[in-house]
Amino acid sequence: MRTRPLKVALLGCGVVGSEVARIMTTHADDLTQRIGAPVELAGVAVRRPSKVREGIDPALITTDATALLKRGDIDVAIEVIGGIEPARTLITTAFEHGISVVSANKALLAQDGAALHAAAEQHGLDLYYEAAVAGAIPLVRPMRESLAGDKINRVMGIVNGTTNFILDKMDSTGAGYQEALDEATALGYAEADPTADVEGYDAAAKAAILAGIAFHTRVRLDDVYREGMTEVSAADFASAKRMGCTIKLLAILERAADGESVTARVHPAMIPLTHPLASVREAYNAVFVEAEAAGRLMFYGPGAGGSPTASAVLGDLVAVCRNKLAEATGPGESAYTQLPVSPMGDVVTRYHISLDVADKPGVLAQVATTFAEHGVSIDTVRQQGRPDGVGNEASLVVVTHRAPDAALSGTVEALRKLDTVRGVASIMRVEGE
Amino acid sequence: MRTRPLKVALLGCGVVGSEVARIMTTHADDLTQRIGAPVELAGVAVRRPSKVREGIDPALITTDATALLKRGDIDVAIEVIGGIEPARTLITTAFEHGISVVSANKALLAQDGAALHAAAEQHGLDLYYEAAVAGAIPLVRPMRESLAGDKINRVMGIVNGTTNFILDKMDSTGAGYQEALDEATALGYAEADPTADVEGYDAAAKAAILAGIAFHTRVRLDDVYREGMTEVSAADFASAKRMGCTIKLLAILERAADGESVTARVHPAMIPLTHPLASVREAYNAVFVEAEAAGRLMFYGPGAGGSPTASAVLGDLVAVCRNKLAEATGPGESAYTQLPVSPMGDVVTRYHISLDVADKPGVLAQVATTFAEHGVSIDTVRQQGRPDGVGNEASLVVVTHRAPDAALSGTVEALRKLDTVRGVASIMRVEGE
């Protein structure tokens, strides 16, 4: 076994970074055995050097990340700063100085993954990023390596813990969105500004990264259709329950039936209680993968948190260090299929639509005609007086068969214009059947 | 990209082998892109050359596997023969001729893994075996690589599809063991001789392999405590339901609390319905992993079948071919911790015990005293007249707190000797809490 240590620069020392440093110290012997050489924390770049960092030698702390990367003895950099800059420039600097990179940065990889992967390949270096998607859940490596001989047709995942916590609370307690969000915030599951989570931006970034791996095609963040979950109501959960469903915020990546294009989207959806994703509770993440030969697989675990994310980072660190020793690199980005990403209108799905309608004869016929005119076939209709007892009004719940999203949304637009339709109370897609 | 193809010898062409050959042909372009060089099926060793094999060039078929390996141009051998011989000799021959190996052979790896891994390492070659445990579920690679920077403390898995199908039927329909087994046989989920599955031999082989990976320690098949599930009854399921549990045949691998030893066992156990493993239905497999930093992870998917197993084999083929091109090898066997494997008596668990007792005062006191004398603390007792209405007898269901298995089985032995105890109707461990 080699005795000269591999040297690691840690860029960022927040919740994840400090946990990475801690494990590198406490589990140094294990890491040495698994890598085949000792691994040494050679420097830690931070913004606030005065902050007390327990267990980290103060001599390692620097505010000059660039100088740390340029000093000439670093083998691997771990980027756990997050955000676009300075992370992007630092990763590029690392590659220019022969340093392989482990990153947990989903925003950066979703936005600039292509350029960063190209830079890694150009310099013959590794860029590993297991921690960027679904925290500790081994997902990037299984999809990229274990399923490398298979063909993935569909990925459907709960990839944001905050929103899953909120939706699970709404499901189990009957709470409304705001009440459940307040509880998530109080318990530390939601940030003070929850926009990135509840509007689906975080999930969309992960969806873009996963779609790239699943389909060997480049999917940009802008290619991902995105709808948040702030309008999901207690009434929606009641409707879902009547259908034997629950509601989850899903990232769904699909290969078209003809195999010639892909779609990527994030939105709340009803899924049957019998689906493995339905039983994913609290802030857990899970990703369901359908592959041609392997069939239906699911990966489940904590999607965030310092320790789980550090676990994923360290798994990558071991792999990258082993590659360094072997003077090899792991599988790089694979975008050889270059399939076009189709717009949301091409996605084939089902709608669950709640309408407030005039309570008089002929309304159902009018509504049904509108669906038929748009080529959308109705699965079930449930008609009832409104629960709030407003006179002369009824609610109509329509669940459609599968149809292109464009036809479904066109139907909804037309329904809004009917004089017997007072309003569209909610629209939700139905998935997982 | 290299244009000279990597040459593959396929050893065995049954359900899995023929599917591997089919995918290698139909997805040749994808495999080329993912490996970085074309991959060519250079020979197929079979026992019965006269059998018609659709899609395989008859010129590739040979009955002389050894000659195929020795001809000098093979880069990778895929062993899907199964069983100990001739698979073991052929794998050894492959290594002696510079050929890396992908194997799906759980029996061989559980029995002779150490020698085979040593041979691979000695020759600087790869031995990959994702398909040997839990079919298509990426499990070996995630545990060996993604969690390489973490410390696995516990693995609990449903790793045999046949027995899960039988237990799921018993749970959902109230059927007895024989009736559920008959259905499994009729549907092709159980073999004519189901011994290897229902007596837990298959699960024990997988448990030995998984324990080795999880704990970086060598666990032999003989080290795995094994109990089959043929005595699980409809009454046990009724008892389980009353406790909010179901029954699964589990492979459980644990690091002792002091970290100085490990245990490995396969037996039926009650687990709470809220546990992620409880909702694993039909012939699906799932493995629950608890790691120090990552937390609770679960991997779910089809555990057997030609296509899923072929998917796992091909994922390994891509990795091994990439390693060949890079003149490197993947992570080999890691047994550096060399922890001792403790006997079943040291396992700390809970018992659910059904006793047939005389229906008279003082019985409960006598039974409770017996538990106390063995240092086993009782959690709950439920006393009731026997459902078959036999006079003068009652049943007593005792659920214990956690205690060493030796103390629990000692208690049961002592209970059997009490004159008020007519018989011990069933004993089942309770896990997953």
pLDDT digits (tens, 9 = 90+) for A96-131: 999 999 999 999 999 999 999 999 999 999 999 999
User: Do the Cβ atoms of B145 and A318 come within 8 Å?
Assistant: yes
Residue A387's pLDDT band (boundaries 50, 70, 90)?
A: low
CA closest to B307 among chain A residues: A293
- The Cβ-side half-sphere exposure at A54, using a 13 Å CA radius, reads 4
Residue type, B352: H
**Pairwise CA distance, residues B169 & B165, whole Å:** 6
Residue among B137, B293, B322 minimizing CB distance to A310: B293
Residue B344 reports pLDDT greater than 80? yes
Residue B303's pLDDT band (boundaries 50, 70, 90)?
A: confident
Residues 6+ away with beta carbon under 8 Å from B150? A23, A311, A314, A315, B291, B292, B293, B294
Q: How confident is the model over B87-121, as pLDDT tens digits?
A: 999 999 999 999 999 999 999 999 999 999 999 99
Q: What 3-state class would DSSP assign to B209?
A: helix
Residue A186 reports pLDDT greater than 90? yes
Residues 6+ away with beta carbon under 8 Å from A259? none
Can you state the angle between helices A28-35 and A306-326, rounded to 10 degrees? 40
Contact criterion met (CB below 8 Å) for A336 and A121:
no
Query: What is the rounded average pLDDT for all residues in chain B?
Result: 93
Pick the CATH number of A148-302 from 3.40.50.300, 3.90.1300.10, 3.10.20.30, 3.30.360.10: 3.30.360.10
Is A347-430 in CATH node 3.30.70.260? yes
* Binding-site annotation: residue ranges of B for NADP(+): 11-18
- The first and second tokens of residue B315, run together, are 């994922």
Residue B50's pLDDT band (boundaries 50, 70, 90)?
A: confident
A425 reaches B (C-beta below 8 A): no
Residues of chain A with CATH 3.30.70.260: 347-430
- The Cβ-side half-sphere exposure at B173, using a 13 Å CA radius, reads 16
Per CB-CB distance under 8 Å, the chain B contacts of A292 are 307, 311
- pLDDT > 70: percent of chain B: 98
| Gap from A319 CA to chain B (nearest CA, Å) | 7
User: Do the Cβ atoms of B294 and A312 come within 8 Å?
Assistant: yes
Measured in whole angstroms, the distance separating CA B99 from the mean position of its chain's CA atoms is: 28
Contact criterion met (CB below 8 Å) for A219 and A113:
no
| Gap from B121 CA to chain A (nearest CA, Å) | 13
User: Do the Cβ atoms of B329 and A327 come within 8 Å?
Assistant: no
**Pairwise CA distance, residues B328 & A331, whole Å:** 13
Residue B337 reports pLDDT greater than 90? no
pLDDT of residue B387: 54
CA closest to A313 among chain B residues: B149
User: Do the Cβ atoms of B151 and A30 come within 8 Å?
Assistant: yes
CATH top class, domain B140-301? alpha beta
Active site members of A: 206
Q: What is the mean pLDDT of residues A18-34?
A: 94
Residue A299 reports pLDDT greater than 70? yes
pLDDT of residue B207: 97
Query: What is the rounded average pLDDT for all residues in chain A?
Result: 93
pLDDT of residue B278: 93
Q: What is the mean pLDDT of residues A46-55?
A: 87
Residue A394 reports pLDDT greater than 80? yes
**Pairwise CA distance, residues B386 & B396, whole Å:** 9
Residue A391 reports pLDDT greater than 80? no
A30-56 in b/e form (b: 16+ CB < 10 A) is bbbbbbbbbbbbbbbbbeeeeeebeeb
Q: What's domain B6-135+306-326's architecture? A: 3-Layer(aba) Sandwich (3.40)
**Pairwise CA distance, residues B233 & B175, whole Å:** 9
How many helices (H) and strands (E) chain B has is answered by: 14, 17
Residue A389 reports pLDDT greater than 60? no
B326 reaches A (C-beta below 8 A): yes
A18 is in an annotated binding site: yes
A231 is in an annotated binding site: no
If residue B226 lies in a helix (H) or strand (E), which one and from where to where? strand B225-226
pLDDT of residue A390: 58
CB atoms within 10 A of CB A105: 27
CB atoms within 10 A of CB B188: 8
Residue among A148, A276, A334 minimizing CB distance to B315: A148
Residues 6+ away with beta carbon under 8 Å from B313? A149, B16, B20, B78, B80, B102, B104, B130, B131
pLDDT of residue B61: 95
Residue type, B10: L
Residue A413 reports pLDDT greater than 70? yes
Per CB-CB distance under 8 Å, the chain B contacts of A294 are 136, 301-302, 307-308, 311-312
Residue B3 reports pLDDT greater than 90? no
Residue B135 reports pLDDT greater than 90? no
pLDDT of residue B39: 96
Which residues 273-312 of chain A have a CB within 8 Å of chain B? 276, 279, 291-302, 305, 307-308, 310-312
User: Do the Cβ atoms of B300 and A297 come within 8 Å?
Assistant: yes
Look at residues B3, B8, B11 and name the one whose alpha carbon lies nearest to residue B99. Answer: B8
Residue holding tokens 């995918």?
A: B23
A39 is in an annotated binding site: no
Residue A95's pLDDT band (boundaries 50, 70, 90)?
A: very high
Residues 6+ away with beta carbon under 8 Å from B222? none
Q: How confident is the model over B220-256, as pLDDT tens digits?
A: 999 999 999 999 999 999 999 998 999 999 999 999 9
Residue type, B172: S
**Pairwise CA distance, residues A359 & B76, whole Å:** 72
Residue type, A143: M
Q: How confident is the model over B384-430, as pLDDT tens digits?
A: 765 555 567 788 999 999 999 999 999 999 999 999 999 999 999 99
CA distances from B31 to A67, B79, B327 (A): 41, 19, 19
Residue A283 reports pLDDT greater than 80? yes
Q: What 3-state class would DSSP assign to A404?
A: strand
Contact criterion met (CB below 8 Å) for B148 and A34:
yes
**Pairwise CA distance, residues B109 & B86, whole Å:** 13
- The first and second tokens of residue B165, run together, are 């199908």
Pick the CATH number of A6-135+307-326 from 3.40.50.720, 3.40.50.300, 3.40.30.10, 3.30.300.10: 3.40.50.720
- The interface predicted TM-score of the complex, written ipTM, equals 0.90
CA closest to B39 among chain A residues: A149
pLDDT of residue A388: 58
pLDDT of residue A316: 96
Q: What is the mean pLDDT of residues B309-338?
A: 91
B332 reaches A (C-beta below 8 A): no
B12-48 in b/e form (b: 16+ CB < 10 A) is bbeebbbbbbbbbeebeebbbbbbbbbbbbbbbbbee
How many residues comprise chain B? 433
User: Do the Cβ atoms of B148 and A319 come within 8 Å?
Assistant: yes
User: Do the Cβ atoms of B141 and A145 come within 8 Å?
Assistant: yes
Query: What are the beta bridge partners of residue B289?
Result: B155, B297
A60 reaches B (C-beta below 8 A): no
pLDDT of residue B82: 93
Q: What is the mean pLDDT of residues A32-57?
A: 91
pLDDT of residue B131: 94
- Between vectors from CA B106 to CA B103 and to CA B107, what angle results, nearest 5°? 120
pLDDT of residue B362: 86
Contact criterion met (CB below 8 Å) for B117 and B110:
no
Q: How confident is the model over B166-211, as pLDDT tens digits?
A: 999 999 999 999 999 999 999 988 999 999 999 999 999 999 999 9
Residues of chain B with CATH 3.40.50.720: 6-135+306-326
B216 reaches A (C-beta below 8 A): yes
CB atoms within 10 A of CB B414: 16
CA closest to B30 among chain A residues: A149
Active-site pick, B206, B241, B360, B417 = B206
Look at residues A120, A40, A31, A21 and name the one whose alpha carbon lies nearest to residue A80. Answer: A21
- Which fold does the domain B345-430 belong to in CATH? Alpha-Beta Plaits (3.30.70)
A360 is in an annotated binding site: no
A146 reaches B (C-beta below 8 A): yes
pLDDT of residue A360: 82
